[in-house]
Structure 1
């Protein structure tokens, strides 16, 4: 094949691929075509002459000692040393003889086979390159235009050269998109298979989206001066973020919230007006739990295994619970503790009521109790 290297370089340039990768795909396509068109039992090899920019197809034959069983079981690819020395006195056992095969007189069917194989292998290269590109972006925000919304509410987003999938379950409650809308989401998962190609799943409900939006909005977080330690969300409703500062000169909460709340409000707006609480992280579990229940003022916290027993004044209990129990749920999700609230009561402070919330519970029969109180 004349000037094959020029063709390879052209394909690599047009598809944005590495020349060596395209060359490997061409070699593999030619070998598969030779097996289908000439003889599937023969061992082939392909070489590209970079100087002359040509490609050559060879049959490989291994030189074996007399009596080697491979001479009878696979005679097409093996030759005895005795027979080989008749052609070349310097040949030794273990050497590989190579015979050039012509590619110029390929049949029409062979040419069609080569074209299909080359197209298939180039497409696989493109998909593999895209897979590696998007795999490195898992957990990061990507954005694109909505191209379709199906009857079930699943949204399809075009991101550069590929179409991603935003399932309805990964969409914030009450959120809807139309064709042409620009959507930002976390790249949650990417996979590839030979049948469906690359599959990309997006999410707007993961806490990671909140973290990444804060990283984009708050320079101190992006620069590493402020660290997001923990994050918990009830998408579209409320979230809590625990942050810390690496410098005593930087107010982590103040930097994240911004002047008059401009930074945190910008992030909340992107999340369908999600209400975001910023609290200062503490490595001391008791203090972290107390802060996580903000805006409630806590009297004391006792850690007992995976449970945090919180004592607080009766007037603070509705704030700790929050509307429909949302505040205590988020505090439990944020800290990882099962939280039990104990109300102070009587002269001796004897507990008069308690309420427990575990991190794993999505819904707890507390709404009826919470409705007795107003924030």
Structure 2
């Protein structure tokens, strides 16, 4: 095949593929068609002559020690004695190569070669796209809405491929229109022969909130503030645990921004989802107490993966939250099962404890002096 290298370079440029990959695809296609149209039992090799820009197809025969009468696979093996008739210096393990003419290929063989090459190029494109989007899993991508089906699934065109945002991955109450530009987290990338590449998007994963914060807050993007964990009930409320190693930075203040400008921008993108920012603590008791904010707790006791939280009756509704949302998020954020233990009449209980301790404790000099004045 003359000028094959020009063809390969043209395909590579047009499809945005590496020249080496297209070259291998062409050689594999030629070998496969040769097996189908010439002889499937022969071992073939294809080579591209870069200098002359031509492709050559060879039948390769290996030299073995046995006499020619003992060689079973005569298509691919030849005895040493027989091989020496072609080359006196040949040794066992060497190969004889016979070039086969590609110009004499039948029309059906040429058509088969075209189809096979087209198939392989398509697989190369898909593999390249798969690698590209797989590296973006967990990142926010944006595209135009091109269709919304009867089940509520939204189809989004991202560059050269169409992705799906299933209804279950959409924030409750969200509605999109065809032509609208939306952003979502790339959740999953798959590939198969029947459907090619499939991309699933999501706007409900906690990763969506994390990535939005990373885009909105420079301190998070630069690594000065770290998102330790994130918990969401999409469209309603979320909690984010933050920490920093810099004494000069308030992780919560930096994330919220002046007058809440940063956190409000993120909330708006998530259909006004309420976002609580708390400072992470390596001490679980403190971490759990902060996660239950805005409630103020008395104490936290740990029992393996369970946290028993003592709290007043006045603070208990805040800890639970509307429909239990606050305690659920705190549990998701910390990884602990949280049990609230209500303590009634805290002030009275504290007073009684103080009086009891006062009676049992020995009097010091000030107590004695005070009693003398009272007398």
TM-score by length of 2: 0.91
CA pair 85-69 structure 1, distance change in 2 beyond 3 A: closer
What is the Cα deviation at residue 346 of structure 1?
Answer: 4.0
Q: CA RMSD in A?
A: 1.4
C-alpha distance in 1, partners of 2:6/2:146? 37
Determine if contact 1:228/1:243 at 8 Å carries over to the other structure: yes
Q: Does 1:162 align with 2:139?
A: no
What is the Cα deviation at residue 69 of structure 1?
Answer: 9.0
Q: Does 1:284 align with 2:283?
A: yes
C-alpha distance in 1, partners of 2:148/2:204? 18
Q: What aligned pairs does 1:281-320 form with structure 2 within 5 A after superposition?
A: 281-320=280-319
Any runs of at least 4 consecutive aligned residues in structure 1 with deviations exceeding 6 A, and if so which? Answer: none
Per-residue CA deviations over 1:336-375 (Å, capped at 9, x if unaligned) read 111111111246749xxxxxxxxxxxxxxxxxxxxxxxxx
Name 1:263's counterpart in structure 2.
Answer: 262
Per-residue CA deviations over 1:211-255 (Å, capped at 9, x if unaligned) read 000000000000001000110000000000010112111011111
Number of residue pairs the alignment of both structures matches: 349
Name 1:94's counterpart in structure 2.
Answer: 93
C-alpha distance in 1, partners of 2:177/2:8? 42
Q: Secondary structure at the match of 2:315?
A: helix
Name 2:144's counterpart in structure 1.
Answer: 145
Relative to structure 2, which stretch is displaced further, 103-112 or 58-67?
58-67
C-alpha distance in 2, partners of 1:180/1:246? 44
Name 2:326's counterpart in structure 1.
Answer: 327
What is the Cα deviation at residue 312 of structure 1?
Answer: 1.3
Q: What aligned pairs does 1:1-375 form with structure 2 within 5 A after superposition?
A: 1-67=1-67, 71-72=71-72, 74-346=73-345, 349=349
Unpaired stretches in structure 2, ≥5 consecutive residues: 351-375
What is the Cα deviation at residue 65 of structure 1?
Answer: 1.2
Determine if contact 1:59/1:100 at 8 Å carries over to the other structure: yes
CA pair 261-151 structure 1, distance change in 2 beyond 3 A: same
What is the Cα deviation at residue 178 of structure 1?
Answer: 1.8
What is the Cα deviation at residue 93 of structure 1?
Answer: 1.1
C-alpha distance in 1, partners of 2:137/2:69? 52
Determine if contact 1:71/1:80 at 8 Å carries over to the other structure: yes
C-alpha distance in 2, partners of 1:67/1:286? 83
What is the Cα deviation at residue 116 of structure 1?
Answer: 0.3
C-alpha distance in 1, partners of 2:194/2:57? 30
Q: Secondary structure at the match of 2:267?
A: helix
C-alpha distance in 2, partners of 1:349/1:191? 61
C-alpha distance in 2, partners of 1:251/1:7? 60
C-alpha distance in 2, partners of 1:265/1:75? 77
Structure of higher CA gyration radius = 2
C-alpha distance in 2, partners of 1:70/1:298? 89
C-alpha distance in 2, partners of 1:210/1:262? 16
C-alpha distance in 2, partners of 1:217/1:62? 65
Determine if contact 2:279/2:290 at 8 Å carries over to the other structure: yes
TM-score by length of 1: 0.91
C-alpha distance in 1, partners of 2:55/2:148? 48
Per-residue CA deviations over 1:63-101 (Å, capped at 9, x if unaligned) read 1112489821x2111111111111111111111100000
CA pair 70-126 structure 1, distance change in 2 beyond 3 A: farther
Unpaired stretches in structure 1, ≥5 consecutive residues: 351-375
Determine if contact 1:70/1:78 at 8 Å carries over to the other structure: no
C-alpha distance in 1, partners of 2:329/2:187? 22
What is the Cα deviation at residue 139 of structure 1?
Answer: 0.6
